[in-house]
Each structure stands twice: as structure tokens, then as C-alpha cells.
Amino acid sequence: MGITRVLDLINETVGRIVAVIAVVFAAIIIYDVIMRYVFNDPTRWAFDVTKQMFGFYFVMLGGYALKHRSHVSVDLVTETLTPGVLRIVEAAGYIIFFFPFAWVFFTRSWEFATRSLAQAETTYGAVQLPVYPLKISMCVAAGLLLIQGVSEFIKILFGYREPAQ
């Protein structure tokens, strides 16, 4: 299906880029530790910057993980179902649980982010870092999660989904 391929490609691309950030914030943390103990000259920004990078990192990966079916589920009951019934149950799971959550996550974090942007919100110590970019990325991430859910749902409906590895 064209549409699922496009949606999958978006999250695959985001995932492959964002995945690298873990190494970046690891490096910043180590740099800060070294500056503190070897040069006795700690950075003023490392704490807030790594914290924000971490938030950006994991939240942007939600859709990517969904595409790879990495979000854990319990298969105690479902492994006894026939493929036809399983498809109905899986689709129902998306309708009952996933879409209400992802929709609220997306729309409410939109309000959350725009309010922060309007206030030009920053952290409140001597180092004032803007907070709204992280809040905006939470909204974008919720959008990515939502479209990946749409893709998975279509794949379930039309039987295009391979079993999880």
C-alpha cells in the first residue's frame, strides 16, 4: 500500500537519525564529568542540555518503535487465537486504546506547546535555556506516533502485517 509505505518511511527516517543522539548526550555527560574532575571547570549548561536531549530522543522514537513492533505486549491469550480472530482483536486494540490515547497526546500537547511558545518559556536558573522547543517536539512526536498507528492499523485491516519477530 502506498500510504503505509510513506508513513513507514517517515518514521524509519526519523528513527535512524534520532537514534544517534544517545551517543551525543553520553558524550556531553562524560565531557562534563571530565571538565569537573580533571580541569575543575564544570560546564554550566550540560545538565539542562542533556536532560532536554534525552526527552527529545526517546519521545521522537515512539513511532519508530511502533513500526518495528518493539512496544511490548502480552501474548498469553492472543497466541491461542486463529489468524482471522487475531486480526479483529488487534484492530479493536487500536480503536479502543491506541487512537484515543494518541489523539489526546497529539492535540493536548499541541495546546501545551503553543502556550509555552507564546510565553517564550525558559528554565529558571542563572542559565536560561528555552523550554518550548522540547515541548514542541513532544507534539511532533505525538503526531509521528499517531501516523504510525494509522499505518499499522491499515496493515492489520488489509492483512499486510508480518508477524512480530
Partner 1 sequence: QDTWTMTTTWPSSLELIEGDKHFVDLANKLTQGELSIEFFEGGALVPAGEVFGAVESGSIQAGADWPGYWAGRDPAFSPLATTASLFNAVDYVNWILEWGGADIYNEIYGKFGMVYLPYMVTNNESGFRTNEPIRNLDDLQGKRLRLSGLEQGKLLERLGGNQVSMAGGEIYQSLERGVIDGAEFSTPNVDWSGGFQQVTKYWATPGWHQSASIFGVMINKQSWDALSPETQEKLQIAADATLMWSLAFTEKRASEAYKQFDEAVEINRYDDETLAKVQEMANEVIVETACESPSSAKVYLSMLEYLEDYKGWREASAPFNLGRSPNGPDIEAVRACVDG
Partner 2 sequence: MNPELIAVVMFGLLLLGLFMGHPLAFVLGGTAVLTTFIAGKPMVLGIVINRIFGDVLDNFTLIAIPLFVLMARFLSDSGVTDRMFESLRLLMSNIRGGLALAVVFISILLAATTGIIGASITVMGVMALRPMLQYGYAQTLTTGVIAASGCLGILIPPSIMLILMASYSPLSVGELFAGSMVPGVLLGLSYAVYVYLVSVFRPDLAPAVEPDEKISRGALMRMLAFEAVPPLVLILGILGSLLAGIATATEASAIGAFLALLIVIMRGKFHWSTFYSAMLETARTSAMILFIVVGATAFTGVFNITGGLRATQEIIRSLDMAPWLLITMMMVIVFILGAFLDWTGIVLLSFPIFLPIVQEMEISMLWFVVLMAVVLQTSFLTPPFGYALFYLRAIAPKEVRTGQIIRGVLPFIALIVLMCLLVAAIPSLVTWLPARLYTQG
User: Within 13 Å and on the Cβ side, how many CA atoms surround 56?
Assistant: 21
Judged by phi (left if over 0) then psi (alpha if -120 to 50, else beta), residue 26 lies in: alpha
Site for partner 1 in 50-109 (CB under 8 A): none
- Please, what is the Cα angle at 61 between 96 and 90, to 5 degrees? 25
Nearest of 155, 162, 152 to residue 102 by alpha carbon: 152
Is residue 37 within 8 A of residue 58, CB to CB? The reply is: no
Q: Using the 8-state DSSP alphabet, how is residue 108 labeled?
A: H
When binding is defined by CB under 8 A, the residue of 71, 120, 126, 159 that contacts partner 2 is: 71
Measured from the CB atom, the residue of 10 and 102 that comes closer to partner 2 is 102
Binding of residue 25 to partner 2 (CB under 8 A): yes
Give me the helices (H) in 19-160, please: 21-37, 46-60, 62-67, 83-93, 99-118, 132-157
Contact track, partner 1, 20-59, x by CB under 8 A: ----------------x---x-x-x--xx-----------
Measured from the CB atom, the residue of 100 and 125 that comes closer to partner 1 is 125
Is residue 69 within 8 A of residue 8, CB to CB? The reply is: no
19 binds, among partner 2, partner 1, none (CB under 5 to 8 A by kind): partner 2
**Residues making contact with partner 1 (CB under 8 A):** 36, 40, 42, 44, 47-48, 111-112, 115, 119, 121-128, 131
**Residues making contact with partner 2 (CB under 8 A):** 15-16, 18-20, 22-23, 25-27, 29-30, 32-33, 37, 47, 50-51, 54-55, 57-59, 61-62, 64-66, 68, 70-79, 86, 89-90, 92-94, 96-98, 100-102, 104-105, 108-109, 111-112, 134-135, 138, 164-165
